[in-house]
Structure 1
Amino acid sequence: MPLGERPGDKSDSRYCGVEPEFSHDMPLLLHLNINGGFDFVVATLIEKKKAKKNLRELEKGMRLKGDTETYRKPRSSKLERELERLSFQMDPTYRPSSIVSGSTGTGALPFAGSDLVLSPTQWSSHVVGKISSWIDLDSEDEMLRQDSEIALKQEIGWASHLSLQACLLPAPKGAACGNYARCVNQILQNLSNMQLWLRIPLEKSDDETTDENMAGGEVDSWELWNSFRHLCESHSQLSIALDVSCSLPSANSLGRWFGEPVRAAILHTSSFLTNARGYPCLSKRHQKLLTRFFDHSIQIVVSGKPADNHPMGTLELGAKSTDNHVESIQRHPLRSYLDYVGYLYQKMDPLPEQERFEPLMDNLEAQTYETFEKDTVKYIQYQRAISKALLDRIPDEQASTVTTVLMVVGAGRGPLVRASLQAAEETGRKLRVYAVEKNPNAVVTLHVTTSATCIELKLLSRLAAPAAAVYFLNYVMSMFTRIFSGHLGNLELAVASLGNNIQSFAFRRDWPAILPTPSEQNFVASGADLLRPSVTASAILPWIP
């Protein structure tokens, strides 16, 4: 489930994942972690030939004890030793070269399980693939390099077959990562939609001792990423998963990462402290760092074992929960860490209200109008729609007596006006067109259009647009047979720029009305006077055939 509700935040930072230490039974692993409150798991995709009973015993250790709200961890030291042994055993026996020489006689990939153990939705929504950590494409051992390249391509190919959204690549083993980057870049060229997260440790040597550390072989992790990314041609499907440890680099070093495509931050349990009540917490610097991660839509992944002195948490039962189901409810060993991350997320300040969309604040240039007008299909469809509306509203016997009023709000250089006039000519209906445009430069083109079509022109320059134009539209449309035409969805009709306090008014000639505007000015409309005060000039161009 998401970390919490934060007004205005719909980013991926609401979701928190977990990196389990073993993954023998993928359905059970997913079941335990999703029910434990996490949104996705970062798990290896290779097949491990281990008994499932170990995971079953761990599940039993997570159950509620008796009728209290105290949870116990697995107390079997034998089980703990087994789990610790399995957590570091990333299938070391599998090597592509050994399989080829062993001639298994089957075409199936020896490391992969079955894609049927989970549904396609579960694979794509709740699993991030984790590439084997033994892979080292820049090793001095030639056989290991060859095995690593084959295994990397096999595992990423299998992850792509499962339709995973992302795969976590192991961190480069040293400063030399040219062959690793070459292979990843080759994979990226043929990768469809899956993202590759390169694991990078969040560390940097102090500025005062940089030269000494570089001489000693220490590598700046940002420089390592920068080299890797350039060798991969800055591919858009290559991003970063930062490994956050208990010690953090300087603020300047941290700031560099927020200009990079960081998708996840792996937070180790060893980075947590213990508060007075025995629950995990983070230092002030780690808290600020997580807050910045949330602001940049970076997902948190909790990794590692829970500390022995950290409780597994307390169960918050709803008012409708019954005692009969208490013993069957499971508690994740890392739930207290997840709760703390959720607490940091929920205590963030709400996002500020989005600024009002005001596309008409600036006048558009001719090139922008040209881009709109290249969509000829749109104007053809408008012309057809207006033709059908005219034929539907005005029967043939009234074609010479009834005049339809059509208003184009945001006329631009007049493509909709021309489409409207052509529709009237095709149908033989009488049409009066009002074109409202605030851009004085576009009005020049409208003047030329009216001159070229020999249409009578009247300019009303006392009406302010866009706000007053809407009031004028309501006034005219309440008295005449009307068709309203405009471009919803682009800048040619942008009523959104009028603010949230625009109201609709219908006028009668003998009823004056006060019109509120976004600038808190009052305009009086009564009788034949449309708007009495003189305001910023704009144009309403009536075309009367």
Structure 2
Amino acid sequence: MPLGDNGDKSDSRYCGLETEFNDDMPHVLSYNINGGFDFVVAPLMEPGYRSSLVNKANRESSVPPFTGSDLVLSPAQWSSHVVGKISSWIDLDSEDDVLREDSEIALKQEIAWASHLSLQACLLPTPKGNSCANYARCVNDILQDLNNMQLWLRIPLVKSDEDDGDSVNGTSDGMVVEHTDSWELWNSFRALCEHHSQLSVALDVLSSLPSVNSLGRWFGEPLKAAIVHTDSFLTNARGYPCLSKRHQKLLSSFFYHSIQIVLSGKAVHNLPVGTSPSGSGQTNNNAQQAQRHEIRSYLDYVAYLYQNMEPLTEQERFELGYRDYLQSPLQPLMDNLEAQTYETFEKDSVKYIQYQRAVSKALVDRIPDEKASTTTAVSLLNYFLHYQEVIFCFLIFLTVAYHLETCALCNPICVLQVLMVVGAGRGPLIRASLQAAEETGRKIRVFAVEKNPNAVVTLHSLVKLEGWENTVTIISCDMRCWEAPEKADILVSELLGSFGDNELSPECLDGAQRFLKPDGISIPQSYTSFMQPVTTSKLYNDIKLHKDLLHFETAYVVKLHRLAKLSPSQAVFTFTHPNNSPNKSNQRYKKLRFDIPVETGSCIVHGFAGYFDSVLYKDVHLGIEPTTATPNMFSWFPIFFPLRSPMYVKAGSLLDFHIWRCCGNTKVWYEWCVTSPTASPIHNSNGRSYWVGL
């Protein structure tokens, strides 16, 4: 049964158990499923079977005598509750020719049998040594014709310090791996298999763990399962199994990244007699103890960790369906947004609260408190006009008008601020601006400029519905073409993309700047893009499925989830508004140098994650850069710039990345490349694959 329910319906809710070979598969399954496990990782072949030990007559038989019948379980049981475990004795890189040939025959037979059973996955044994070329070749051959079944390569979670030299590390199967960093073994194997999307990894979690940075690499890999051994558990004060703080944190990360836990091994704790597994002190009779699964207490502890995770926030629930899903960025100038897109963005209340704060501060700076009283007087006049008799209203009007004129003569002030919302959409920025005016007691007149004729229909309806006829003027026009009847005090826009400038905010606001007063305020005032190298096998394989250059030279908007961040993000391009520079070119070039920490270990770079941070006004900021991200905001997902070929980077090496923002008469595009540790091609030369239309 599932470990619990924290709002995440991913596979990490299900826990499996690694079992030994047993020809009574129905009993194995029923015992473990009734014991609380969701699936078993079970051998498919008798451990003693070797092709070379079978006589020639049997080898040529059409039914090889190495396993039982597929009829012992239903197809649904095989598919849902069994992961095949390939025989651990297999060694396809052995110097013993007979063992190598037997291994190849057994591997092909067992995977073919597993495929026949429609299993969802098979667990491959760990390579026996540093050399795994023949093993990888055989697996790669199998992958070419395999159905949808996944192959999980078993890798021990080991990374020794660099100065320790080569070490010999054991795994639960009794296999020996001579390697200082087991990630290197995995990377070598998957590179030989051409990064095949059906080849994944299952980590053996042992009693000792590598550094936090080293562990972080694995979350960008196609990690499907973590095999936790019972001898990795400690004993708590009540005598029950528990895990160290580091192991607890690691399992929580596995849960968060939708990685299944598989328990392995025998019970190694002498549990107290007569108490419940929860440690509550309640007694159990002997019959109940006898029926209980022998390692149920380990499962209960894993379930306890799962159930005590922080529940998903509302934002995380919203983002679940978008995790690691590639989306093409919006083309806001070429395309008119649909109602559903507007609807999604308008639900982000956090963004509009920040905009309202920025407009409020700008209004207060434009109209100090001592000058705001005239605005209050006009508001009071409107109140009387609405509620009093006509004659009385006329008298009040004369009185107030006299005082206003006197004040104006003595101390001329600007009572009313002109605010222009450029790219008004369906009106959320208009609403935020009017609320800011009401909150600060300032009076504004709003011009709402929108080029989408469908959104303009909605704006006109909104103005009537809200009674904004005397305050808001709708302009159906591209902001770059509109001739404003007067200059604006404040210019408000929400043209930012995931990379800040990737939806052409610089070009749009440069075009609209001509109708901003010389001392006028632009909201946002500035924005900066950021970038960092990442490992993300999921996105790389999704792009590779298209089998063309175009998709590897496109920047995608994506809610990054299964990834490893390899170095802190760095600033790329900054744009400021209003732009008073004599050279208003929006072309940019930046070289970034990233340092891959030694403690992380070697890694694979699949591409670069991009973010932005913007200053709306003074200390009011908005952004998605991880270290300064605005909490609980979901309007923007990061942007991902892929590499055509994954880049191997050694621990402690420098990674040099170059990016250009190029501008033409009809389009804007990015070009990017890596020059160190090795050179990549320049991606998207002349905007041949990906561009944003002007």
Length-normalised TM-score, structure 2: 0.46
Distance 2:426 2:210 in 1: 53
**1:129-528 alignment to 2 at 5 Å?**
129-210=84-165, 218-310=179-271, 314=276, 330-354=291-315, 364-366=332-334, 465-467=425-427, 525=465
Distance 1:213 1:339 in 2: 33
Larger relative contact order (Cα-Cα within 8 Å, sequence gap ≥ 6): 1
Shift of 1:330: 2.7
Shift of 1:249: 1.5
Q: Is the 1:198–1:238 Cα contact (8 Å) retained in structure 2?
A: yes
Distance 1:191 1:307 in 2: 39
**1:12-27 alignment to 2 at 5 Å?**
12-27=11-26
Shift of 1:143: 0.7
**CA shift digits 1:311-335 (9 cap, x unpaired):** 597379xxxxxx99x7699311111
**CA shift digits 1:467-509 (9 cap, x unpaired):** 589x9xxxxxxxxxxxxxxxxxxx9999xxx9xxxxxxxx9xx
Q: Is the 2:179–2:185 Cα contact (8 Å) retained in structure 1?
A: no
Secondary structure of the structure 2 residue equivalent to 1:258: helix
Q: Is the 1:34–1:40 Cα contact (8 Å) retained in structure 2?
A: yes
Secondary structure of the structure 1 residue equivalent to 2:210: coil
Give 1:29's aligned residue. Answer: 28
Give 1:122's aligned residue. Answer: 77
Change (3 A) 1:340 1:468: closer
Give 1:98's aligned residue. Answer: 53
Unaligned 5+ runs, structure 2? 170-176, 279-283, 343-420, 432-451, 479-694
Paired AA for residue 163 in structure 1: S
Paired AA for residue 292 in structure 1: S
Paired AA for residue 364 in structure 1: P
Secondary structure of the structure 2 residue equivalent to 1:17: strand
Paired AA for residue 5 in structure 2: E
Give 2:44's aligned residue. Answer: 45
Aligned length: 354
Q: Is the 1:197–1:240 Cα contact (8 Å) retained in structure 2?
A: yes
Secondary structure of the structure 1 residue equivalent to 2:54: helix
Give 1:443's aligned residue. Answer: none
Secondary structure of the structure 2 residue equivalent to 1:180: helix
Distance 1:178 1:274 in 2: 42
Shift of 1:118: 0.4
**CA shift digits 1:139-175 (9 cap, x unpaired):** 0100110010010000000000000000000000000
Secondary structure of the structure 2 residue equivalent to 1:525: helix
Secondary structure of the structure 2 residue equivalent to 1:124: helix
Q: Is the 2:121–2:149 Cα contact (8 Å) retained in structure 1?
A: yes
**CA shift digits 1:415-436 (9 cap, x unpaired):** xxxxxxxxxxxxxxxxxxxxxx
Shift of 1:101: 2.4
Shift of 1:295: 1.1
Change (3 A) 1:150 1:524: same
Q: Is the 2:51–2:59 Cα contact (8 Å) retained in structure 1?
A: no
Paired AA for residue 62 in structure 2: G
Distance 1:253 1:30 in 2: 36
Change (3 A) 1:211 1:273: closer
Unaligned 5+ runs, structure 1? 48-90, 317-322, 373-407, 413-460, 472-490, 499-506, 508-514, 516-522, 541-545
Paired AA for residue 4 in structure 1: G
Secondary structure of the structure 2 residue equivalent to 1:6: coil
Length-normalised TM-score, structure 1: 0.58
Secondary structure of the structure 1 residue equivalent to 2:53: helix
**CA shift digits 1:60-85 (9 cap, x unpaired):** xxxxxxxxxxxxxxxxxxxxxxxxxx
Q: Is the 1:462–1:538 Cα contact (8 Å) retained in structure 2?
A: no
Distance 2:37 2:216 in 1: 28
Give 1:59's aligned residue. Answer: none
**CA shift digits 1:86-115 (9 cap, x unpaired):** xxxxx22x1112325254674212112111
Q: Is the 1:463–1:537 Cα contact (8 Å) retained in structure 2?
A: no
Q: Is the 2:240–2:277 Cα contact (8 Å) retained in structure 1?
A: no
Distance 1:463 1:286 in 2: 50
Give 2:355's aligned residue. Answer: none
Shift of 1:221: 0.5
Paired AA for residue 30 in structure 1: L
Distance 1:23 1:265 in 2: 23
Shift of 1:539: 6.9
**CA shift digits 1:202-241 (9 cap, x unpaired):** 0111133247889x95442110101000000000000000
Distance 1:141 1:112 in 2: 25
Paired AA for residue 164 in structure 1: L
Change (3 A) 1:235 1:411: closer
Paired AA for residue 42 in structure 2: A
Change (3 A) 1:463 1:38: closer
Paired AA for residue 28 in structure 1: H
Secondary structure of the structure 2 residue equivalent to 1:198: strand
**1:46-125 alignment to 2 at 5 Å?**
46-47=45-46, 91-92=47-48, 94-103=49-58, 106-125=61-80
Change (3 A) 1:222 1:104: closer
Give me the identity figure in percent.
62
Root-mean-square deviation (Å): 4.0
Shift of 1:201: 0.4
**CA shift digits 1:14-55 (9 cap, x unpaired):** 1100012342311010001001100000001124xxxxxxxx
Pairing partner for 1:534 from 472, 475, 484: 472
Shift of 1:274: 0.5
